[in-house]
Structure 1
């Protein structure tokens, strides 16, 4: 588990992505959509070797959007 936020106040979507990374999984940004309220990203959660998509989810959480924007894979 990530220790970057000891109070565990991160948005559940960012927690989900960090758990995936901590487990060795990889991810890719599958889509981005600009909305009047901000940006929404869709992430594909991939196996550790990046060979198979295991799950997909979308989020409009601004912290998650910023996180994947600076660390896009």
Structure 2
């Protein structure tokens, strides 16, 4: 996984895989990464990165 969480999510999406916000707080977010079918969770990470929080906005999933 890249050290840039926005790059990680964009690359994940570009490959056809799915990410979902599983926990959100005003200053942090936990995101689960799923295989392309959206079924099995492959990884998850928590970040306080302000750029990531802006990138996500109110979206809860890569499918939004």
TM-score between both structures, scaled by the size of structure 2: 0.78
Secondary structure in structure 2 of the residue aligned to 1:71: coil
Gaps of 5+ in 2: none
Which structure carries more relative contact order (alpha carbon 8 Å, separation 6+)?
2
TM-align CA RMSD:
1.6
Match of 1:50 in 2: 38
Q: Distance in 1 between matches of 2:25 and 2:60?
A: 15
**How many residues are treated as equivalent by the alignment?**
59
Q: Runs (4+) of structure 1 moved beyond 3 Å?
A: none
Q: How many angstroms does 1:62 deviate by?
A: 1.3
Q: Which runs of 5+ in 1 are unaligned?
A: 1-10
For 2:4 and 2:47, locate their aligned partners in 1 and report how far apart those are by CA, in whole Å. 10
Distance (Å, rounded) in 2 between the aligned partners of 1:27 and 1:50: 8
Q: Which has the larger radius of gyration?
A: 1
